[in-house]
Amino acid sequence: MPATSASRDQIAERIAAVFIQRGYEGATLAQLSQATGLGRASLYHHFPGGKAEMAADLLRRCATELQHRAFRHLSRKQKPERRLARFIDGFVDYCQDGTRACLIAVLAQGSATEAHGEAIARQYGDWLGDLIRTFEAIGMKPKRARREAERLMSELYGALLMSQILADPGVFTRTVKRLHKSWP
Amino acid sequence: MPATSASRDQIAERIAAVFIQRGYEGATLAQLSQATGLGRASLYHHFPGGKAEMAADLLRRCATELQHRAFRHLSRKQKPERRLARFIDGFVDYCQDGTRACLIAVLAQGSATEAHGEAIARQYGDWLGDLIRTFEAIGMKPKRARREAERLMSELYGALLMSQILADPGVFTRTVKRLHKSWP
DNA sequence: GTCTATATAATGATAGAC
DNA sequence: GTCTATCATTATATAGAC
């Protein structure tokens, strides 16, 4: 049933947009209803567990998307420099050139942390490990590779945050441009 | 009346802790009441405008604190490298070695953005300007100085976020250590 | 699968005693 | 300045018709 599936994806996407903009508790069912075009009761048909289930489902989708768009490229059999470039470009796609915050990072703050904080921490720990291995493949020693991996993640997420705060995507795009030149 | 003033600061501090942990809408009056030890009605004595006034007041306090602890040092008549070092150390104090998120950044996301987003953007624009001027004082051209300033802010806030997500302050402390070596 | 109507609980906020 | 009691509103969630 392709129509139903597509619709389901659209629903998830619109719900995600509200969660990103308003946060977990800031997102009310009334707003989610309006954003999706579905009545409140209909939302409970798709997500019997209510907001909690929406968040859990969206987190899974988001992690899958980020893995597929960005981190997946780190495990390819290519030159590590090329893997990093592809990873960065994938991340740029994921956050739409710095105009869209990362839902996982949003839900990692606030009270959703109690329910999903540990899983999110584990996920990012794994992803950081992928980056570290890539930097080691370039020839860096473990310590240096860890620092570089942490720096890359911090810069991407920091620039994303600064762009949002300053309401200026330029910070993010300039950061990406610079990061691309880091390993020539 | 020093006792009253001190108490007011304590109240603000405890309220801030709840806002930082739960976000603006995630922080309920019941939680704020428990955290401060005051009844809900008493909170309205101190903040007649309710949560909205709390947020506005806390944002002012927080901006003042960050200015005083960190950004103030950029305007001193010292070697720019030394100014930057003092700024970084001040920021480390401000976020308690990476264990405490920045309330301004927290409130810059979520629905508090509508009320304070513009003011926050202006404030960070000014602060970024302070950093840019400092880098120019080192001898960098405007473009380069801007990139370095953006990088510094992104790394600090990004590392703070990553530390929070990973529940590991080490990311932040290592980032700070590295940043200190950036302008020898 | 979507809707209307409704139940139930929690929220922000106020009045007024002390 | 703090409290108890209360209000009005809004929130999440459910029942049941279509």
pLDDT in tens, B76-121: 999 999 999 999 999 999 999 999 999 999 999 988 999 999 999 9
pLDDT in tens, A54-113: 999 999 999 999 999 999 999 999 999 999 999 999 999 999 999 999 999 999 998 899
Name chain B contacts of A119, Cβ cutoff 8 Å.
none
Is this model's pTM higher than 0.85 or not?
yes
Q: Which domain holds residue B74?
A: 2-180
| Residue A121 near residue B166 (C-beta atoms within 8 A) | yes
What are the residue ranges of helices labelled H in chain A? 2-22, 29-36, 40-46, 51-69, 80-94, 103-107, 113-138, 142-166, 170-180
**What is the domain-level CATH number for residue B164?**
1.10.357.10
- Does the structure show a pLDDT above 70 at B162? yes
pLDDT for residue B23? 96
In total, the C-beta contacts within 8 angstroms joining chain A to chain B are 124
Residue B5: pLDDT band by 50, 70, 90 thresholds? low
Q: Which chain A residues touch B if contact means CB-CB below 8 Å?
A: 21-26, 101, 105-106, 108-111, 117, 120-121, 124-125, 128, 147, 150-151, 153-159, 161-162, 164-167, 171, 174-175, 178
d(C-alpha A144, C-alpha A146), whole Å: 5
Q: Which of A111, A147, A162 sits opposite B157 (nearest CB)?
A: A162
Strands of A6-165 (E only): list them: none
If you average pLDDT over every residue of chain B, what do you get?
Answer: 96
pLDDT for residue B184? 74
Sequence-distant (6+) residues with CB within 8 A of B169 are B97, B98, B99, B163
User: Into how many domains does chain B fold?
Assistant: 1
| Residue A136 near residue A75 (C-beta atoms within 8 A) | no
Write out which nucleotides of chain D lie closer than 7 A to a protein Cβ.
1-6, 10-16
pLDDT for residue A183? 85
pLDDT in tens, B7-43: 899 999 999 999 999 999 999 999 999 999 999 999 9
| Residue A161 near residue A153 (C-beta atoms within 8 A) | no
- Does the structure show a pLDDT above 50 at B174? yes
pLDDT for residue A4? 56
